[in-house]
Structure 1
């Protein structure tokens, strides 16, 4: 009987669930409600079921990837125990030590909740990004173009980087490839944090900062809408002539060196150019043809969420380990460089993104605390 009772307690521990709401779920709920209200009252854009299906598939992949890695780690722990003890675990404490957290029901549930929250935030973020012009039709490209020049002592970063490095085909291809792999990088790092390698608390803080960052970033787009230099400055080269009609005339039309435009045309940044054209087509179809977009959602440059996201990830990778932080720093610098070199953003967009990342990370470490009854 004592042995049977011990087994029951062990099963209960493995099946125990913590259903209390989390901070990142609260951020998701508030942001989703805000965006739904904006879409309903200020735009013709409905929620996309196609995009929702795509994100649900990503959610399944995310949880499954973490589950497979978790099972592999658990198997390693089991084999290590057998090698050290000369036999298989028998006591409840030994079984729980090996099975926790990767064979507990709560770990799978909270990973689903984490993935659902961050992918849900990005889902609504993409909708909001696509309707910025319906809410605030003003344009601030000229302001940030001139601000960049003043902040950098008369040097325009977009022009200087393109003229200096645009002719280096190998570098251009590398930066272009690294920039597009940003999406895979986010997924890989998120899977890493789902594994709770340094405890549950750091993971909870990571996902709170992640959800908060994208929520703030989406709303920040409404403050000073910009399209970015690839459209406002180089639109005649990045967009087909038949699609260059727009809801307003771009303000930056003078003081552009011909060599800057020529180097952009010649630069081997194929991924950037393809996406720049596809994003513009999606906006053109929504605004002028009243056709709903498919997967390419939104044009907005200030702040840079590419820079913000990798900066936040870098901060949390540093908390995970110095080695992870080193690789996070390298990728952060590559994305920051690429955001300007590929003509997606002005330099100040990256500065704003970095400030947002620092704020979201700082707030997560201040607000997200260990919970009672939970071993972190």
Structure 2
């Protein structure tokens, strides 16, 4: 019997080119770091990272089910929940996301290892330059001093600290949202191409080339007293309202001094990946809806202001990050749209559709 050629679903999502490139990069990075003795924590960190992604997936699935339950108010809620959880489309998209999930699981621990190893490759030396750049922009003042009259209140500082911590959701919830719940295949591919390029080019490449520690670590690591007044204010504000970043900053300093290269470790200021990822998510959300666009823009502003006010970054760290993300976003759009213009996915039919096609063929024989 003659088999029919598999039909390419115009809404199908082909991730395998991204997966191949990212896994190849991870393999090369692993062996590079292995030569420098910086990979002892990568396996443990990858396991932790996968657990966090899995927990976030469970949370988002249950959250979406409960949300629909509150909106639809079905007569048989238990049956409604079962059908929602056992949704074929959800499992199909989750299955298609596994390749990218593997990339995300491995990539971030390797990024953390690179980040913590920056001073081994390029000693911290750019901070005085970035301090000078900030003072040019703010007419002789440091960036935090220029914005302090507007945000220098303990309750505001505490709120900014909380918002700055919520940034971590862009890594976990944001990736799952774009990977599973985003129905536009071009936007989905564009986002993940830009995501991995941003972490690689900005977070590894430029961070190594422009090696710096940021205001809060300028004193302990470089002996600069420029930001002692800022860190003193943060400690005083913490006595009235909890400033969550202080404990994280202390941990980062301890990990740096002990040579811990685990997940989330490492100190670097320029460029700001907090601002870069928040800006990237905003660019993606502009194509989702006006509501998401406005919310993500507000979050970007909170992260940018928080990065300065909480002593993590100079203002130029965020500005350079935004400038670097823009060409990456537009280049990623070119890559993501090219296969769709030809009516094909990058490597043909996605794996899920091949399995379905083979099952249909066998059933018809």
Give, in angstroms, the shift of residue 157 of structure 1. 0.3
Give, in angstroms, the shift of residue 32 of structure 1. 1.2
Residue 47 of structure 2 corresponds to residue 53 of structure 1: yes
User: Deviation per CA, 1:330-349, whole angstroms, max 9, x where unpaired?
Assistant: 00000000000000001111
C-alpha change, 1:295 and 1:197, in structure 2 (3 Å) is closer
1:133 maps to which residue? 119
C-alpha change, 1:30 and 1:258, in structure 2 (3 Å) is closer
1:367 maps to which residue? 335
Q: TM-score, normalised by structure 2?
A: 0.76
1:152 maps to which residue? 138
Give, in angstroms, the shift of residue 74 of structure 1. 11
1:24 maps to which residue? 18
Give, in angstroms, the shift of residue 151 of structure 1. 2.5
1:111 maps to which residue? 97
From 211, 218, 222, the counterpart of 1:225: 211
Give, in angstroms, the shift of residue 260 of structure 1. 4.1
User: Deviation per CA, 1:343-370, whole angstroms, max 9, x where unpaired?
Assistant: 0001111011112322222121111133
From 168, 178, 181, the counterpart of 2:166: 181
Q: Distance in 1 between matches of 2:295 and 2:22?
A: 29
From 316, 322, 327, the counterpart of 1:348: 316
| Aligned residue runs from structure 1 range 242-253, under 5 A | 249-250=222-223, 252-253=224-225
From 304, 309, 316, the counterpart of 2:272: 304
C-alpha change, 1:368 and 1:156, in structure 2 (3 Å) is same
From 178, 199, 208, the counterpart of 1:214: 199
Unaligned runs of 5+ in 1: 1-8, 81-98, 236-245, 287-291
Give, in angstroms, the shift of residue 296 of structure 1. 4.5
Give, in angstroms, the shift of residue 135 of structure 1. 1.1
1:201 maps to which residue? 186
Give, in angstroms, the shift of residue 36 of structure 1. 1.7
Q: Distance in 2 between matches of 1:35 and 1:43?
A: 12
Residue 51 of structure 2 corresponds to residue 102 of structure 1: no
Contact 1:71-1:103 at 8 Å conserved across structures: no
Residue 306 of structure 2 corresponds to residue 318 of structure 1: no
Q: Distance in 1 between matches of 2:67 and 2:308?
A: 40
**Over aligned residue pairs, what C-alpha RMSD do you find?**
3.4
Residue 295 of structure 2 corresponds to residue 338 of structure 1: no
Give, in angstroms, the shift of residue 64 of structure 1. 4.2
2:83 maps to which residue? none
Residue 254 of structure 2 corresponds to residue 281 of structure 1: yes
Secondary structure in structure 2 of the residue aligned to 1:40: helix
Secondary structure in structure 1 of the residue aligned to 2:212: coil
Contact 2:116-2:265 at 8 Å conserved across structures: yes
1:265 maps to which residue? 235
Deviation larger for 304-313 or 141-150: 141-150
Contact 1:165-1:171 at 8 Å conserved across structures: yes
C-alpha change, 1:73 and 1:339, in structure 2 (3 Å) is closer
User: Deviation per CA, 1:124-148, whole angstroms, max 9, x where unpaired?
Assistant: 1111001111111242111111111
User: Deviation per CA, 1:168-199, whole angstroms, max 9, x where unpaired?
Assistant: 12111110000011112443333322344442
How many residue pairs were aligned?
319
C-alpha change, 1:293 and 1:195, in structure 2 (3 Å) is closer
Q: TM-score, normalised by structure 1?
A: 0.74
Contact 1:62-1:115 at 8 Å conserved across structures: no
Q: Which of 1 and 2 has higher RCO (CA within 8 Å, sep 6+)?
A: 2
Decide which structure has the larger Cα Rg and report it: 1
1:95 maps to which residue? none
